Structure 1
Amino acid sequence: MSVISRHRAAAGLLSVALVTASTAACGGQASGAGGSDTLTVISGTAPATLDPVKANVGSDNWFVNLAYDTLLRLGPDGEIQPGLAEKWGYVGENNKVFDLTLRADAKFADGTPVTARAVADSLNYARKNGLNSATWSSAIDSVTATGPLTVRVRCATPHPVLPMLLNQIQLMGSVISPKGLADPSKMGSASFGAGPYVLDSAQSATGDHYTYTPNPNYWDKSRIHWKKVVIKVVTNPSSGLDAVKTGQADLIPVIANQADTAKTSGLAVINAPIAFVGVNLADRDGTLAEPLGDVRVRQALNHAVNRQAITQAVFREYGQPTAQLSLPGLDGYVSDYDNRYPYDPERAKKLLAEAGYPDGFSLRAEVQGVNGFDLVPQAVFQQWKQIGVTVNVVTDTTVGGFLANATSKTFPALGFAYGGLPTYLTSLDWMLPHTSAFNPFASKDDKLTAMLAEAAAAPESKQAGLYRNAMRYVVDQAWFVAVARQDNIYAYNDKKLTGVTVAPGYLPDLAWTVAPK
C-alpha cells in the first residue's frame, strides 16, 4: 500500500465557494433537524449538478460524497486511506504507471458489483468530461481494467499525485455505475454511486433541499450513522446560522464575522486554512500591460501591499497573510515565504523607477463579485494607488462570466480565490504553459518548467524539497500577488455531533465520520 505522506488537497479553481458560500444575499429557511437519527446541514449554495465529475470541488462535495464512494480517501491527518481500492501504488520509476486493486465486496446502490471495468469506464468518463479534467488529468494517457478487480492508469508524463486526485476531496475518483454512464444526462439530478447513501428524489427539491437515505448494498455498514441526511440550501447567512442555533439544523459553514456569534450561542466552531485570495499578474510577458513584463514591476506590486492589514480587515483571526500558493502541510509550503514581500511602499516606488516607471502606470483588471471574492483584490488596488498604479476594474457577477473574461486574454490582472492543492496540481493551473483561468496567456518560464518536471518524476521522498524550490522560484518571479490564506470555518451542535473535523484542505466528512454523539 502506497501512502502520500501529509499531502492535503482542497478546492481548486473557483469552487472554493464553500468557504464563503454563506455570504450570498438572498432568502431561504431551514426545516427541522428531524431528530437524533437525522443529520441536517446547511449549504450556502445549491449544486449546479449532481454529476460528481462536473461538480464544484469544495462547494458541492457534500452532495456528491454521500452517494459516491471514491477509490481512495484523504484523512484529516493528510494520509491517503483505502476506499473502493484496497491497494494502490506506482509501478516502476517516474510516476507514470499507477495500479489499483479493488475490494471484492463493493456494490453500487443498484446492486451491481463494482468491477475494474466499471471503474475504468468511470475514470475515462471523468477524464473526458470532468470540470478540472483539462488540467488535473491532462497527463493521463489511458485507464484500463487489467483484471476483474485491477485497474492500471498510464500517464504520458509524470503525475505524482494520482492518489490525491482519486480521493473524496477532488471528486474525480468518485465511481459512477454503468447505469449512470449509460445515460449521463440523468446524473445531474439523481445518484448512481456506490456510496453509503443514495439520493431520495421523492424527499428532495432541486435548489432547496436534498435528502439522502442509507444504501442497503454499502460494503461497510459501520460507516452509515444516520437514517437520513438532509442538506438544506439557505443562501441568507443569518437565516442559516439561526437554523443551527435554534436546533433546526446541525452544521453550517460560516464566515469570519459569524464565528463569534456562533460561539456565544453555544455552538462549537472549528477552522483551518483552505484557500488563497489575491491578484493574479497574468500578463507576465507584458503583452497587454507592458510594465508587467518586468519582474521588478511585479515585485513592486507585491511590496506595495499591506497583507497584514487586509487580512485582519477581511478575515480577522480566520486568515493568515502570505505571499505563496501553498498551505502548511502541503508539499510546496515554504514557511519563510509567507513574508517574502514585506510591506514597503518606498521600496516599491524605487523598483518602479528602476524599471522605467517612476510615475507609475495604469492597467485593467477583472474581479469576481460573487460571494465577496472582490473584497481583497479591491483593497490591493487601493493600496497600489500609493505607488502611482491605477487599476480600471471590471466586476463580474457570475462565475461563468468571470471564467469567460479570465480566459479571453483581455485582462492583464485578475482577482483570484484558489483552493490549496499539492503543488503538481497547482502548477497545472498556474505555472506550466497551459492556457487556463489562472494562466490565460500560457506564460512560460523554461527554468520553472524544468524544476517542475524534475519534481513530478522524483521519488516521493524527494518531491517536497523539489516543489518547495519551485514555489520559491515562482514567488521570486512575482507571477501573482497572493495576499492571504483563508480559513474554512464551521459551526455545529457539539451536543449532538461527533467526528466533525477540519484540517488544511480537509472538509468535514458527512459520508464517513460525522456521527451522533
Structure 2
Amino acid sequence: MKMRSLIATAVLLSSTSLVSAETLKWARAGDSLTLDPHAQNEGPTSTLAHQIMEPLVMRDHSGALVPALATEWAPSTDNPNVWTFTLREGVTYHDGSAFNAEDVVFSLNRAMTPDSDYKELLASVKEVRAVGDYTIEIETDGPNPIMPNNLTNMFIMDKGWAEANGAVKVQDYEGGEDTFAAKNANGTGPYKLVSREPDVKTVLEAYDGYWGADEFPLAYTTIEYTPIQNAATRVAALLSGEVDFIQDVPVQDLERVASTDGLDVRTAPQNRVIFFGLNAGDADLANDNVEGKNPLADVRVRRAMSMAINRDAIKQIVMRGQSQPAGMIAPPFVNGWDETMDASSKTDIEGAKALMEEAGYGDGFSIQLDCPNDRYINDEAICQASVGMLAQIGITVNLDAKPKAQHFPLLSNLETDFYMLGWGVPTYDSEYIFNFLVHGRTDKYGSWNATRFTNDGLNEKIVSLAGNTDLEARNADIASIWEAVQEEAIYIPLHHQVLNWGMKSSVGTVVEAEDSPKIKYFEIN
C-alpha cells in the first residue's frame, strides 16, 4: 500500500490581503454542494471539482474528448467487453503522493456504491481491475461502446488519503451526512484547495507539481471562487471590479455589462434543458388538495399542464430572448435528439381545459411546485410565470422556491410531487438521460427520477443500450424510448438554456457548452 501524508492544515487567506494580477476572482449564483467527488452529480459541484481533481478522460472547451489521467484507451483486442486504459505516469497528488492504478480501481468502485450520484454511469461495469501500476481494465456486461464518454466527470481520489481520513465511503448528501471528504480534497488537478467556507468563498492556488504545467496556459496562480446568489449583487460585483468573471449574467443586465468598457459578454448555447417533473406514480399526493387519488397519474392532466405553458412568453418576457423553447428533455447536442419532437410543445389553453374536463378535473386542483432559486437562469422567475399559466386551466399552484442545497434532496428523497430540474448531458448521448431520469429507481438506476414512473419493458430497453454495439440498432432503440417518454409526458420540457458569461476583457476564454469552465485553459489577454 502506498504511504500517504495528510493534507497540511489549510492556510486561511484574509479577505483584505492584496492579490496579484494572476488571481482570478470568479463568481456564480450557487456554490458547490460538496467536495466529495462522487456524492452529487450537479453542475457547479463538478465544475469546482474539475479545478482540483481529474478524471481519466475529460472534455476540453470545444467539447472534444481529451486525455486527463489516462493517456490512451481502447477496447481490448482479446475481449470486446473490456476497455483498457493506459494511465499517465509521474503524476502526484497535492500532498506529494504518487498516483497509480490502485487509485483508479478504488475510485471507480467507490463511485458504484449506493450513495454515489454517479453509479448510473457505471451500471454496466462488472469489474475494474489493475493489470499493472499504470494500466487498468474496465469489464462490462457486454460491450459498452460509449464507456469513455461516461468517465468525463468521474474523478479519481487518492486511495491512501481516503483510508487515512475516513473517506472510503461516499458521503450520504441527501441524508444530511457531513464527512471529511465533503470539506477537504487531495487531487491531482491544476489547483489545490487552500481554504473553503461553503456558500462564502473557496480559495485555490496553482499546484507546483502539476503534470500539465507545460501543456496548459495556467495563467492564473490563484482562484477566489465566490457564490453570489442575488443577481443584482453579482452584476454589481463585476461592474465594480470586485470579481473578474461571472458565469451567469442575468438576462436583464446583458446589455449593461456588454456596453461597459473593459467588460465582455460571451454567449453560446448550453448543453442543458430546463423542465418540470411530475409525480405520476404514487396513488395519492402529499402536496395537493385531492383526497385519495393522484391527478398527475392521469396522462391527460400531464399533457394539459404542458399545453398550458407558454414557452414563447417565457422566452420573450422572462428570459429576454435568451432561451430556446423545448419539446423534449434532450439538448440538440445529444445523440437521439429529434427536431420534430423538440418542436412538439404547443400552447393550447382550450385544448388543455378540454383534457382537464375529460380527466375529471374540470374544476382544477391545487398543488405545490418546488423550485430552486440559485441554480438555473431565472429559475424562480420561470416558476412564477408558470404559476400564472397553469391557473388558466384551473390549477392553483403554490410556489415554494429555495436554494438548491435544500431543493435537490426533495427529489432524491421523493418528497416533491411537482418540481423544476435542469439536465445537462456530458456524455452527449441519450442513454445518460434515460439512466438517470427515465429508468425506474433502483440501486443502480434512476437516482434523479422523482416522477415515480417505471416501466419494466422500457427499463430493459434502457439497460440494453450499454451493450449494443450495432449503432444503427442502438439509435433505433433510443428513438423508440424517446417516443415512450413523449407519450407518457412525465416531464414538461420548458427550454434549452443559453449561456452568457460575463468577464473582464482581459480574461481569455471561450464559453464552454457544459457551463463547466476549466481554469487551466484560461489565458490573460
TM tier, smaller: 0.7 to 0.9
Could you say which residue in structure 1 is the equivalent of 2:245? 251
Task: Note if contact 2:371-2:383 (Cα within 8 Å) is conserved in structure 1.
Answer: no
More displaced stretch, 439-448 vs 481-490: 439-448
Matched, 1:275 2:266: no
More displaced stretch, 216-225 vs 304-313: 216-225
Could you say which residue in structure 2 is the equivalent of 1:3? none
Which one-letter code corresponds to 1:430 in the other structure? L
Whole-Å separation in 2 of the counterparts to 1:40 and 1:320: 30
Matches within 5 A, 1:353-368: 353-357=357-361, 359-368=362-371
CA shift, 1:214, in A, is 2.6
CA shift, 1:293, in A, is 3.1
Matched, 1:472 2:496: no
Q: Which runs of 5+ in 1 are unaligned?
A: 1-28
Deviation digits for residues 322-366 of structure 1, max 9, x if unmatched? 121111111131122222121112222333344444x24325234
Whole-Å separation in 1 of the counterparts to 2:470 and 2:509: 30
Matched, 1:388 2:394: yes
| Pair 1:394–1:244, CA change in 2 (3 A) | closer
CA RMSD across the alignment? 3.2
CA shift, 1:175, in A, is 3.8
Which one-letter code corresponds to 2:432 in the other structure? L
| Pair 1:35–1:79, CA change in 2 (3 A) | same
Q: Secondary structure at the match of 2:139?
A: strand
Q: Secondary structure at the match of 1:241?
A: helix
Deviation digits for residues 69-121 of structure 1, max 9, x if unmatched? 22101133332111110122344899854331112232223333321112111
Task: Note if contact 1:282-1:439 (Cα within 8 Å) is conserved in structure 2.
Answer: no
Could you say which residue in structure 2 is the equivalent of 1:178? 160
Q: Secondary structure at the match of 1:200?
A: strand
Whole-Å separation in 2 of the counterparts to 1:319 and 1:482: 12
Q: Secondary structure at the match of 2:209?
A: coil
CA shift, 1:396, in A, is 5.3
More displaced stretch, 304-313 vs 412-421: 412-421
Whole-Å separation in 2 of the counterparts to 1:323 and 1:287: 28
Matched, 1:103 2:88: yes
| Pair 1:461–1:412, CA change in 2 (3 A) | same
2:467 to 432, 446, 457: 457
Deviation digits for residues 358-397 of structure 1, max 9, x if unmatched? x243252341243263433343332223223334x36253
Task: Note if contact 2:272-2:496 (Cα within 8 Å) is conserved in structure 1.
Answer: yes
2:222 to 205, 215, 229: 229
Whole-Å separation in 1 of the counterparts to 2:508 and 2:88: 28
Which one-letter code corresponds to 2:337 in the other structure? Y
More displaced stretch, 260-269 vs 363-372: 363-372
Task: Note if contact 2:275-2:493 (Cα within 8 Å) is conserved in structure 1.
Answer: yes
Matched, 1:143 2:128: yes
CA shift, 1:194, in A, is 1.0
Matches within 5 A, 1:10-49: 34-49=19-34
CA shift, 1:464, in A, is 4.5
CA shift, 1:275, in A, is 2.9
Which one-letter code corresponds to 1:211 in the other structure? V
Which one-letter code corresponds to 1:361 in the other structure? G
Q: Secondary structure at the match of 1:390?
A: strand
CA shift, 1:145, in A, is 1.2
Matches within 5 A, 1:340-359: 340-357=344-361, 359=362
Whole-Å separation in 2 of the counterparts to 1:334 and 1:321: 14
Could you say which residue in structure 1 is the equivalent of 2:382? 376
Deviation digits for residues 211-234 of structure 1, max 9, x if unmatched? 333323222212252352222315
Could you say which residue in structure 2 is the equivalent of 1:214? 206
Deviation digits for residues 447-499 of structure 1, max 9, x if unmatched? 533442443322274344542442233123211111112223211122x2223
Could you say which residue in structure 1 is the equivalent of 2:339? 335
2:436 to 405, 429, 432: 429
Task: Note if contact 2:101-2:135 (Cα within 8 Å) is conserved in structure 1.
Answer: yes
Which one-letter code corresponds to 1:57 in the other structure? E
| Pair 1:345–1:243, CA change in 2 (3 A) | closer
Which one-letter code corresponds to 1:132 in the other structure? D
Matched, 1:197 2:194: no
1:482 to 487, 490, 493: 493
Q: Which runs of 5+ in 2 are unaligned?
A: 1-13, 168-178, 286-292
| Pair 1:360–1:59, CA change in 2 (3 A) | same
Runs ≥4 residues deviating over 6 A: 29-33, 92-95
Task: Note if contact 1:122-1:181 (Cα within 8 Å) is conserved in structure 2.
Answer: no
Normalised to the residue count of structure 2, the TM-score between the two structures is 0.80
CA shift, 1:509, in A, is 1.6
Q: Secondary structure at the match of 1:128?
A: coil
| Pair 1:400–1:195, CA change in 2 (3 A) | closer
CA shift, 1:403, in A, is 4.2
CA shift, 1:242, in A, is 3.3
| Pair 1:471–1:500, CA change in 2 (3 A) | same
Normalised to the residue count of structure 1, the TM-score between the two structures is 0.82
Could you say which residue in structure 1 is the equivalent of 2:232? 238
Q: Secondary structure at the match of 1:76?
A: coil
